[in-house]
Structure 1
Amino acid sequence: MAKKEKTIFVCQNCGYESPKWMGQCVCGKWNTMVEEKVVSISQYKKSPTITSSTKPLPIKEIKSGSYDRFDTHIEELNRVLGGGLVKGSLTLISGEPGIGKSTLILQASSIIAKEYGIVLYVSGEESEEQIKMRAERLNAIEDRLMIVSETNVDVIKEYINQLNPVLVIIDSIQTLFKPDLSSAPGSVSQVRECTNQIMYTAKTRDIPIFIVAHVTKTGELAGPRILEHLVDTVLHFTGERTQEFRVIRALKNRFGTTSEIGVFEMKEEGLVEVSNPSEIFLEGLTDTEGAIVISSLEGTRPLLLEVQALVAPTNLGFARRASIGIDINRLNLILAVLEKKVGVPLMNQDVYVNVVGGLKPEGTSSDLGVALAIYSSMRGLSIHTTTTIAIGEIGLTGELRPVSNIEKMIKEAGKMGFKKCILPKKSTKKIQLNESIQLVGANSLKEAIDYMFFEN
């Protein structure tokens, strides 16, 4: 009698394993348990073979990887990666379909093929002809850029051994499979095992590998959460397909900071770098009510953004608060301070706030600008949007609190032609600027409102 194969049930969302099927996993998701065969681990019981590549070395003799990088010649991508593509690194890039993931890595791979050597582009979703058509449109045709349509991870490893490329692109990880596993491509066990195989190849052969991954409808990375833990760097593309601008951000980076962003503009010839994002985000700026310019520090680069607010009477019986770009909890805090400390009646008013361009500013430096925009819309008072910028954090008592690196933000505002900056009074004593921009300090939100709307 044949021996029955042992199986387990694995959650496709979190990777939880159970001997029996469960309707709801421990992560809270329903109907995500899939039956998978248990792979024998007898092959791992053999005595390990010690090779010279795994010989322990003194830490002083180990070469630092901080200077061993490939220059992609795409400055915005280099900025997010921390200075370039580290050899032997495993980089995951995710984003919604059509956002520009394949376009960016194809542009980068053609440059690296031209500068450094053979690049292997493995596609599990598109044919070689489709990739060739995109490469012609992007002017990314290089002799040393090798294209193959393959999903078997063992075959891909053999191609890497034969070609010995300087860079490998996997598009996408959800299409790969290992024949030893009975589960379908994209399952937890397949994604985990294929990623482990690719990571081992990257580390042992010192080859940087780019992995493209899908996202869910909610914008989260599809597949098991272990995928994010295995890779060295996680890059995420954001932006609307109907808009031209794309923002790439590092959610995880073992070789650099995670606070930097890269800004691109989608054109017919591909993704074009935006070296001065503030100028792009402030296009079409006019003096009007409910709009003001704020500043946010993204990594080492200050950005100027336009925030718009609309306050309208409630018709549904309860006030609605909606926000794009500003954290909704932060918005509720600002509204509470406006109502309690300034006396603005917002209980029966719908409030809508939007950061133009789709970018989400980091930190609390946008608090003052959001509050002034809401007050402007509520009272119907115009703001000198083209000449005035507001920077500052709002406390629960209504006071204005300083924010870090405010001097960099004001310098950027001066370069962009702004004439006046409203900021916390405590910050004015520490700032030494040569720009011809007037600094207006305020101790509280009420003082800032009085100056903005009633003293000019």
Structure 2
Amino acid sequence: MQAPTELRLDRRLRFFSRTFSAKASRAQTASRLSRVSKVKTSFLCNECGAVSPRWSGRCLECGTWDSVAAFQADEVADADSGRVAPDGAAPSALPMAEISPLEVPRLPTGIKEFDRTLGGGVVPGSAILVGGDPGIGKSTLLLQAFAALAARGERVLYASSEESAQQVKLRAERILGDTKCATREANLFLLAESSVARITNEARRVHATVVAVDSIQLVHRHDADALPGSMTQLRRCCLELVQFAKTTGTVVFIVGHVTKEGDLAGPKLLEHLVDVVLSFEGDRHHAYRLVRATKNRFGSTHEIGLFEMTGEGLTEVDEGALAAANATEPRTGTAVAPVMAGSRVLLAEIQALSVSGFLGSAKRKASGMDSGRLSMMIAVLEKHGGLRLADQDVYASVAGGLRIVEPSADLAVCLAIAGAHLSRALPPAVAVLGEVGLSGEIRPVRLLDQRMAEAMRRGCKTVLVPAAQSDSILRHGGEIIAIRSISQALDLLSPLAKVH
């Protein structure tokens, strides 16, 4: 029998033994966990792409509210570690002199205005992001382009994550009408799928040369622990599609949604990854649509495509149709300005309206032009044109959904506002060119000869030009009136009775 002292000592030893064993077990577990790669969580701004170690309600770089979201930092490294050269070999640095130039023929889509925006057609291996408001015509344009490509023997795959294959077929039949083409129907493949891996696998299986993913917001990867449409899914899916395009030489169209401000939804990284960014502009309640390239690694970003939405889909628009009405009959508050859209000239019809308002709170509203520029033109008309517009609500718009960003239409805007306020009009078939300075002078514009030639070809018989360029321009058969100041231009406005 043990003594009490020995018994107490034995109990203490067993207690300390159990305690030390538990601590050793926890230490071993912690050691094993520490050897596992830790996932670092960072926070990325959806607008500017700035990365920060902690969340904040407002981005510290661009100042955008509610644009910071969490992401796992190792995702970018994992996605980037597998990138290879387009030919499948490991990339290596070479001197520029040893690199042979790559001459890849473009693939025309068969739609003239669409090819103009793309620079002559699509480049094999390129990734193209198409954005626009809901119902603007993104899917319609791609279906028409894919049908034209399939009719020429190209194997194309249209993958929709928003509709079933039967719904896409119904829409395609409505657009294409009753025309049947065996070659087109055999080469146009439809797929209803939201998994990016299955989409790329199907594209490889059918040997597609052109693929469309509609839309990127509903496509997902199974290994990404996030919901479709989240920043993580958008980034990883777009990366996989771009890598697929580069490694296989397939043209990939990616349809993207836009925010209420009109910007492409998702992080700016998407626009940096792709080769071409196309913006579909226009009001879905109006007929005209514009396709503009905001980024193009293989062509110009100054070209635009003009379309009109009809019951049979999108049809190409003639350049002069937007201002055709102005050439037939005079109207108060209108003026036609030849504006540049890339390498071509469009006749833009400027419309203005002046109504009585309240002194000190008069409204100035602009559609299709810069509202600040409109306010400047109103100030010039008051100061140097003798018009009282301080108590007038002034509205100005560009017909047809066009947007003017160059100052060559300043004089046309001023004459439209003055005509609306004075109930006067320009004579029929008159085109107006000139930048208006703050002192009321008419300043020169670039490419004046090209603008005049197109205006004359479209039926304009008289062109108002800056006086500083009147002696150096070529004569195109019409009348040329040199304008030095805004007050001289206002003298050309006449009452409607005298215009007729």
Q: Taking structure 2 as the reference length, what is the TM-score of the superposition?
A: 0.84
Match among 445, 460, 473 for residue 403 of structure 1: 445
Tell me what 1:160 maps to: 203
SS of 2:255 mapped into structure 1: strand
Offset, 1:307: 0.8
Find out whether 1:417 has 2:459 as its counterpart: yes
The 8 Å contact of residues 152 and 176 in structure 1, kept in 2 or not, is answered as yes
Q: Distance between the aligned counterparts of 2:76 and 2:283, measured in 1?
A: 46
- Cα gap change, 1:336 to 1:53, in 2 (>3 Å): same
Equivalent in the alignment of 1:143: 186
**Distance between the aligned counterparts of 2:456 and 2:191, measured in 1?**
51
Residue aligned with 1:365, SS = helix
2:113 counterpart (76, 83, 107): 76
Q: In the TM superposition, what is the alpha-carbon distance from 1:279 to its structure 2 partner?
A: 2.1
Please say if 1:31 is aligned against 2:73: no
1:249 corresponding residue in structure 2: 292
Question: Which has the higher mean CA deviation after the structures are superposed, 284-293 or 299-308?
Answer: 284-293
Q: Conserved in 1, the CA contact under 8 Å of 2:368 and 2:398?
A: yes
Aligned to 1:105: 142
- 5+ residue gaps, structure 1, are none
Distance 2:54 2:241 in 1: 31
1:89-104, aligned counterparts within 5 Å? 89-104=126-141
Could you tell me which amino acid in structure 2 is paired with residue 142 of structure 1? Answer: E
Q: Choose which of 29, 36, 42 in structure 2 pairs with 1:8.
A: 42
Write out per-residue CA displacement over residues 53-85 of structure 1, whole angstroms, 9 at most, x where no aligned residue: 6465665753434x5110111100010001111
Deviation at 1:395, TM superposition (A): 1.2
Q: Which amino acid is 1:406 matched to?
A: L
Deviation at 1:13, TM superposition (A): 3.9
- Cα 1:71–1:185 change in 2 (3 A) is same
1:168, 1:207 within 8 Å by CA — same for their partners in 2? Answer: yes
Matched with 1:306 is 349
Out of 19, 27, 39, which is 2:53 matched to? 19
Contact preservation (8 Å) 1:36, 1:183: no
Q: Which residue number corresponds to residue 441 of structure 1?
A: 482
Instruction: Return the offset for 1:7.
Output: 3.2
Alpha-carbon distance between aligned partners in 2 of 1:366 and 1:320, rounded to the nearest angstrom = 21
Residue 263 (structure 2) aligned to one of 199, 217, 220: 220
Unaligned stretches of 5+ residues in structure 2: 1-28, 178-183
Is 1:197 matched up with 2:235?
no
Q: Please report the RMSD computed on the Cα atoms of aligned residues, expressed in angstroms.
A: 2.7
d(CA) in 2 for partners of 1:14, 1:353? 33
Contact 2:359-2:391 at 8 Å conserved across structures: no
CA distance in 2, matches of 1:195, 1:46: 15
Corresponding residue number in structure 2 for 1:86: 123
Q: Residue by residue, what CA displacement relative to the aligned partner does 1:340-370 show, whole Å, maximum 9, x if unpaired?
A: 2222222222111111111012411110011
Which of 95, 102, 106 is residue 64 of structure 1 equivalent to?
Answer: 102
Query: What amino acid maps onto 2:309 in structure 1?
Result: M
Structure number with the higher helix fraction is 2
Q: Give the superposition deviation at 1:314.
A: 1.5
User: Contact 1:11–1:188 (CA<8 Å) still a contact in 2?
Assistant: no
Q: Distance in 1 between matches of 2:80 and 2:324?
A: 62
Q: Distance in 1 between matches of 2:59 and 2:98?
A: 47
Give the AA of the match of 1:92.
L
**SS of residue paired to 1:293:** strand
1:62–1:134 CA distance, 2 compared to 1 (3 A): farther
* 1:238-277 correspondence runs (5 A): 238-274=281-317, 276-277=318-319
> SS in structure 2 opposite 1:125?
coil
Which structure has the bigger radius of gyration? Answer: 2
Quick check: 1:129 aligned with 2:166? yes
- TM-score normalised by the chain length of structure 1: 0.91
Q: Distance in 2 between matches of 1:445 and 1:426?
A: 14
Q: Tell me the CA shift for residue 42 of structure 1.
A: 8.0
Q: Secondary structure at the match of 1:367?
A: helix
Which of 275, 282, 300 is the equivalent residue of 2:324? Answer: 282
Matched residue, 1:371: 414
